[in-house]
Amino acid sequence: MRNLFLIAALAAAPAVALAQTEDGPGPNLVIEVAGEAEGTVVIDLFEDVAPAHVERITTLAEEGAYDDVVFHRVIDGFMAQTGDVEFGKLGQDMRMAGRGGSDRPDLPAEFSDINYDRGIVGMARAQNLNSANSQFFIMFEEGAFLNGQYTVVGRVIEGMDVVDAIKRGEGANGAVLGEPDRMAEVSVAR
């Protein structure tokens, strides 16, 4: 079983730079958040920067796989992580949340030169650079140490106040204990 989480101490790895294009907005991921934080978060997905990852996220969203998936790892001043469609559904054993992905194969990294600033959305992965699957995280603050280490898939364009209100983790590694906030419904607007 894999444990997907952000690894703060990474071995130096070469980053392949891809320039973000400004051809216009990509599809938007629309997340209805429920729990202590309530409201709508809209993410502009960068399909020109990370096409395989954006396709994965939009496919899972359109299938309803992200509905009722919790924010299982939330670290104040850093990020909120969600997207474990295997073990992260509301009502499941939250001790397993963050260890799964989807029934699809892992994705090869699509690194870019986009900075991990507030509101940037990246793909979570295990230590293997090519192990991202379904989990993603939203940055509360700038995290330059992640630049070139995790695939950037988008940016929050609406609802950052909702992201800021997501229940913070209390346990080890920012694990959210008790009843975490969740993505009640996730859709794609094209």
**By C-alpha distance, which of 91, 70, 92, 90 is closest to 81?**
70
Whole-prediction pTM: 0.87
The domains of the chain, with CATH numbers, are 28-189 (2.40.100.10)
- Count of Cβ atoms closer than 10 Å to residue 147 Cβ: 19
In the 8-state DSSP scheme, what is residue 175?
A: B
Q: Are the C-beta atoms of 131 and 4 separated by less than 8 Å? A: yes
CA distance 65 to 89: 9
Inter-residue contact 42 to 29 (CB < 8 Å): yes
Q: What is the pLDDT along the chain (190 residues), one digit of tens a residue?
A: 344 444 333 333 333 333 333 445 679 999 999 999 999 999 999 999 999 999 999 999 999 999 999 999 999 999 999 999 999 898 888 777 888 899 999 999 999 999 999 999 999 999 999 999 999 999 999 999 999 999 999 999 999 999 999 999 986 689 887 889 999 999 999 9
- In this structure, the strands spanning 136-139 and 28-34 are unpaired
Are the C-beta atoms of 77 and 141 separated by less than 8 Å? yes
